[in-house]
Structure 1
Amino acid sequence: MVQLVGAGVVCLNPAGEVLMVRRADNGQWDLPGGRVEPGEEVRAAALRELLEETGLRVAYGMNVATGMNISEPELLGVFSGPDTLHTYPDGNTVAWVTVLYLYRNVRGVVQAADDACEAGWFGLRTLPSPRSAVTDRYFHTLAARLSV
């Protein structure tokens, strides 16, 4: 078993829906994300994975009402532990340490690609299944952040 650093993205659209992808290797629904390559900045890896798996990009610019940069992510959390273990079809098991960012502004048309076989927007009360234990932990953290 090896331990790797992962980067993931929670994308919320204006309707409060979250972007999810269904993994091709195990059929589970998850957030867009993946491995941080050696020497790659974690946030850059998260944005690369978002683009590779869904075709979406972060929208850049300023929110006129708040004066804040809308492309700046919020750090949702760093997740590790027994529920982050993932066994791949070839039998290799990886213990992930995942850095998860929250973005509220993305652009483009959702298209599943790379290792995602489906992608779409879902309400927080109507999330698709099956999901892993760590994915559920991501959503508990998100719900606490949003006070849902």
Structure 2
Amino acid sequence: MDTLSLHFRFSALPSISPGARVIRRWWRGLRPRRRVGAGVAVIRSEAVLLVRRGDNDLWDVPGGGADAGESPEDTARRELQEETGLSVGALRSLGIFPHRHTYLDGNVVAWETHVFTADFAGGEPCASDDAAQVRWWPLAALPGDVSEATGTYFAALAAVRA
């Protein structure tokens, strides 16, 4: 079969109707997109490094979404480097936290976030990428302006530090 007949054959398929497009978008909206993410709580003495996110102005551990084929550990390291300029040694798993997040545009994502802890290895953190601010917070006085998911990370961190 030559290229011309292949092109004609596939271009002759009926297009999807506008009504079917609306139904497809509605159906996708019922099933949130699934994503894997990772973050790392860097610990220095009795403080943890947090970033103020640029998208929602809330405090969080440095982290973000995994690239295709990227392990959670590699994601956590990459995001820490991108958002704060820091690198760390050994990562310890704090847990896997499933949660939903609705973005400002209405997009809903079902996240599976792997959160790690790591000891501070030196350097001066600097906010970059999508972090608006970076700050060391005392573990005994963590900020309240956080997402529900970040609140669960804090509770897990408090449990392992006790």
Q: Give the TM bin, normalised by the shorter chain.
A: 0.7 to 0.9
Q: 1:87, 1:113 → 2: CA distance?
A: 23
Note if 1:20 corresponds to 2:50.
Answer: yes
Counterpart among 47, 54, 67 of residue 37 in structure 1: 67
Q: How does 1:49-128 map to 2 (within 5 A)?
A: 49-58=79-88, 71-80=89-98, 84-128=99-143
Structure with greater proportional helix content:
2
Q: 1:53, 1:22 → 2: CA distance?
A: 10
1:87-130 deviations in Å (ceiling 9; x for gaps): 22222121110111110133221111111101110001222231
Note the C-alpha offset of 1:86: 1.5
Aligned residues, how many?
A: 131
The aligned counterpart of 1:11 is 42
Note the C-alpha offset of 1:76: 0.6
Larger RCO (alpha carbons 8 Å, 6+ apart): 1
The aligned counterpart of 1:142 is 157
Note the C-alpha offset of 1:3: 1.1
Amino acid at match of 2:93: L
Please report the TM-score for the alignment, with normalisation by the length of structure 2.
Answer: 0.77
Amino acid at match of 2:51: V
The aligned counterpart of 1:131 is 146
Identity %: 44
Q: 1:124, 1:7 → 2: CA distance?
A: 20
Structure 2 residues not aligned, in runs of 5+: 1-31
- Secondary structure of the 2:93 match is strand
Amino acid at match of 1:48: R
1:5-53 deviations in Å (ceiling 9; x for gaps): 001101101x210010111111111110001111112111100000101
Structure 1 residues not aligned, in runs of 5+: 59-70
Please tell me the root mean square deviation across aligned C-alpha atoms, in Å. 1.1
